[in-house]
Structure 1
Amino acid sequence: MCFHTSTTHKTKKLEAHYKVKVSDDKLRPIFDKPNYHLNGFAHPNMLVIPQEKADVLAPGVWGIVPNNKSSDQIRDYYKEAVKYGGGLNARSEKIFNHFIYSSCVMERRCIIPVSGFFEPHDHNKKKYPFYFRHAEKKPLALAGLYSVIGTYITFTILTKEATPLFAEIHNKKNRQPVILDDTLVDNWLLPELTQNDIKDIVNTNYPEEELETYSVSRSLFSPKEDSNVETIIEKQIYPELGLEF
């Protein structure tokens, strides 16, 4: 599942790439600061492109919250929902019948721009993190759903069954985030999409040859270490894995 991301591109880069504008210029200093590792379970703020305002980058809280909650209930909901994954990921196979996703999927789809994300590889009962990014270090567009709680956007990242590359890395869960290539980014936010259109987009696999992946420090998973540092996205080789990327 996709619980760890990296956001290092400047807002100007994201604006040019997605042809959007940051919703408030006062947000630039916040989101121009590179985050080499964002742990979803801390429910960080990230920029999203929401369907209802598809020309802007708006701040959202990672972890979708049901529409019937109020803003002062968000924190308590996250404490309760941690056993269900904290609302960080949504299985795309359930988006039309899940009690949260079904109310969002037709009118509140979003794009979550990231510079990369991390997935675990299991070997001899140990987890080894791998970093995924665009081979040319371009932004990656993850497909998501969102809810609006008071003045807050809360969002989740869609996942699906792994392609061969992801299955080799994420070898226990065999899942991956839904990544949209440039031809599908605009389509994902179109209001006239049918259920079949949405399914077709979700089931379109991102070209694996456009991705770069490699193993990184296991300190990514350590609560005792500050892993939001530039070195966390540097390659670290583990000979015991026998994987070559």
Structure 2
Amino acid sequence: MCYSTRTTKKIGELEDYYEVERLLGETIDSETELIHNHANGWAHPNMWILPQQRKGFVIPSKWGIMPATSLGAEFKDYFAKNRGAFGGLNLRCEDIFKNYMYEDNIYTKRCVIPVDGFFEPHTTAVKVKGKPFKVPFYFKRADDKPMSLAGIYNVTNDKMVTFSIFTNKATPLFEDIHNQPSNKHGDFRRPVVLQEGDVEYWLEDGLDKEEIVDIMDNGLEDAYFDTWPISKDLHKRNGEGDRPDIIDKVEYEEIEIRY
């Protein structure tokens, strides 16, 4: 799954890389930089997305998709009452065409979420005080380019844009590292990272189901990622994980896999 990302590139860098312009909302001014050393999805941070309906622009959006009938200003109450939505942070590729709230959005409201990288948990064979010893790993592109996550967005009744990140079945690298199923289906997942040449294609109008599925099933291959273990401070409740050096490599003798 993908509940934690890192976004440290300034908006000007994203505008240059994707050849887009920022389009600001009422709560975001021209000086705002949406920088997160650790963007914790459960806190529903504002992040930049490239939306299908406003091609050529990058806009601020809240992580955690909500129905069009809901009020974005009441997102805390919404997710507290709808715990089965898991914060709206991820949506399974396999389910989106039968999701009554978003089955139309997949044709008209796809988006690209630019990030530096993301974090995934690894469960070692070691137990501490009877509990599995877990270690966070950081993933980034080996070439240090922005990572383009595939997503979907919606606009709430009070005009707040909210989004979710697509996940697909895990490839071998992700199954080795994120090695514990974390959903009711009992399968291993990974976020959909778009191939370089599919970013603009993903935002095109008129794609049919087969074309959309093909893009999601042919994401960036494992060979294009670098990954390593980092500090367990990432998930401390006091926000200590939101610091620049949180992605520094940490060696753990409990880790037995190669990465």
1:154 partner SS: strand
Kept in 2, the 8 Å contact 1:92–1:159? The answer is yes
Letter in structure 2 aligned against 1:114: V
Q: Where does residue 67 of structure 1 map in the other structure?
A: 68
Residue 94 of structure 2 aligns to a residue in which SS?
A: helix
SS state of the match for residue 48, structure 2? Answer: strand
- CA change 1:225–1:147 in 2 (3 A) is closer
Instruction: Give the match for residue 235 of structure 2.
Output: 221
Kept after mapping to 1: 8 A contact 2:176/2:257 = no
In structure 1, which of residues 172, 180, 197 is the aligned counterpart of residue 180 of structure 2?
172
Q: Partner residue of 1:77?
A: 78
In the TM superposition, residue 141 of structure 1 has moved relative to its aligned partner by 0.3
For residues 50 and 23 of structure 1, the distance between their equivalents in structure 2, rounded to whole angstroms, comes to: 11
Corresponding position of 1:158: 166
Describe the shift of the 1:225–1:152 C-alpha distance in structure 2 as closer, same or farther (beyond 3 A). Answer: closer
Structure 2 partner of 1:22: 22
Pairwise CA distance, 1:28: 4.9
Q: Which moved more, 1:79-88 or 1:177-186?
A: 79-88
Runs of at least 5 residues in structure 2 that lack an aligned partner in the other structure? 127-131, 182-187
2:252 to 235, 238, 244: 238
Q: TM-score, normalised by structure 2?
A: 0.89
C-alpha distance in 1 between matches for 2:242 and 2:148: 21
**Number of residue pairs matched by the alignment:** 244
Q: Is the 8 A contact 2:9 2:116 kept in 1?
A: yes
Q: Match for residue 91 of structure 2? A: 90
SS in 1 for 2:5: strand
Report percent identity of matched pairs.
37
Cα offsets for 1:137-184 (capped at 9, x unmatched): 110000000000122100000001000111111111221000002100
2:185 is matched with none
Q: Secondary structure of 1:66's partner?
A: coil
**Worse overlay, 74-83 or 235-244:** 74-83
Which residue does 1:135 correspond to in 2? Answer: 142
The residue type equivalent to 2:12 in the other structure is K
- After superposing the two structures, state which structure 1 stretch, 84-93 or 72-81, moved more: 72-81
Partner in structure 2 of residue 5 of structure 1: 5
Match of 2:211 in 1: 197
Question: What's the secondary structure of 2:33's corresponding residue?
Answer: helix
Query: Alpha carbon RMSD of aligned pairs, Å?
Result: 1.6
Match of 1:104 in 2: 105
Match of 2:33 among 14, 24, 31: 31
Determine if contact 2:195/2:218 at 8 Å carries over to the other structure.
no
Aligned amino acid, residue 102 of structure 1: E
Q: CA deviation at 1:83?
A: 4.3
Question: TM-score by structure 1 length?
Answer: 0.94
Q: Tell whether the 8 Å contact from 2:61 to 2:160 is kept in structure 1 after alignment.
A: yes
Cα 1:90–1:187 change in 2 (3 A) is same
Alignment match, 2:152: 145
d(CA) in 2 for partners of 1:225 and 1:190? Answer: 38
Q: 1:240 aligns to what SS in structure 2? A: coil
**CA-to-aligned-CA distance 1:103-144 (integer Å, 9 cap, x gap):** 311100000000010000112312210000111211000000
